[in-house]
Amino acid sequence: MSNTLIHFSPIVFKDKNISNSVPGLSNFLELQKLFSLHVGINDRTGTIRTPFRQKILNPLPEFTESFRLSYTECALLRVAELERIHVNTGKTFRLLYSGGIDSSGIFAAFVEYFGIEKTSKILEISCSKESKYENPWVWDRYIAKNNFKLISSHKHTDFLDDNVITIMGEGNDLLVMMNLFIFQWQKFIVGKHQEFCLVDESLIRDFFSSLYGIQNEIAITSIIKIIRSSPFPLENMYQILWWLHMALSWDSIILRVLLSSNNIGFKNDRIIQFYNTPEFQKWSFENMRNFDRSIIFQYKVVPKNMTIDLLKISEYKDKGKALSWPRLQSMIPYGLMIDDDFNVYHKIEDFFQFIDTNNSFID
């Protein structure tokens, strides 16, 4: 067995035997308040050392100001990579398709690159009945008319045993979706007569103390250090929240689906997160470096516009968000952690195998 984690679910820390037995864990859990119970921190900047041994599977790309690819160009470049896999292995693809913006964008990129006829031959559609209603335009004009092979997405935890490559859309939220953060910021500034002000350390402390309940000095200091590790100066809270998510939660979000499986799909390249590429992340860095106030009021406008342009469905511009993930995952048992051999652990006591007593959170 390995002794290094690539992913963990913070719910494991609900067990008091662990919380009281791991050096530095109580301080670390203050930092963990930044994210929900299904997103465990894994620091891609190397700024902090957590109370357990961890490994980064998806390092931060090297950021340069010379990156000029558009979002659509990044998507088509990704499909070109998938084409090489198809040619080299003979394997076809299965898209975990909800009809939402992320999976619709993947579908649109395939159609633009291959054409609808070839796409229907090499791309299966894994969906539920809700997928049809979430995006009726793609369903009626493309999927239903072109003899795509369909498979229920409620069986997705068994997919990695099949001899096809499953494609998912995790990570796109972090690349493009800033509007979730505006509500946090607006709540904070009520009565303060501030909006797009430049941030300083005192404002950072006030923000994370007020909205996240983080008052622990080690946790706050860790946040400030990670903010300073950004490849470009972060001048407002929107940029700061984006960077904290990109730095601390990316690996966790990319890998979390494996907690509901006992196989080693990532190791065998049987599942690919479409948006998990250096190019997409570089695009995101460039988009946020040239910060435009208007982007925070728009819901995934860039990938939505790509789908509209490539598939010619102008009606899609009014689409909002529908939570598809809970519909598929609500009754599925989860593991607690994954090691770097892709073993999934279900027992809380297994966590003690991965403790690092020399970490950044010890008083």
Q: pLDDT (tens digit, 9 = 90+) per residue, 261-297?
A: 755 566 667 889 999 999 999 999 998 888 776 666 6
How far apart, in Å, are the Cα atoms of 280 and each of 131, 171, 238, 287? Answer: 25, 10, 19, 10
* Portion of the chain with pLDDT greater than 90, in percent: 56
Q: Is residue 227 part of a domain?
A: yes
Containing structural domain, residue 295: 66-335
What pairing do the DSSP bridges indicate for beta strands 165-168 and 337-339?
unpaired
Residue 158 pLDDT grade (very low, low, confident, very high; cuts 50, 70, 90): low
What is the rounded average pLDDT for all residues in the chain?
86
Q: Is residue 310 part of a domain?
A: yes
Q: Is residue 255 part of a domain?
A: yes
Q: Is residue 199 part of a domain?
A: yes
pTM (predicted TM-score): 0.91
Q: pLDDT tens digit string along 14-53?
A: 766 777 788 999 999 999 999 988 899 999 999 999 999 9
Number of domains in the chain: 1
Q: Is residue 307 part of a domain?
A: yes
- In the predicted structure, residue 198 carries a pLDDT above the cut 90: no
The per-residue b/e assignment along 282-313, b for 16 or more CB within 10 angstroms, e otherwise, is: bbbbbbbbebeeebbeeebbbbbbbbbebbeb
Q: Is residue 40 part of a domain?
A: no
Ranking 7-11, 205-209, 326-330 by mean pLDDT, the lowest is: 326-330
Q: Is residue 99 part of a domain?
A: yes
Q: Is residue 356 part of a domain?
A: no
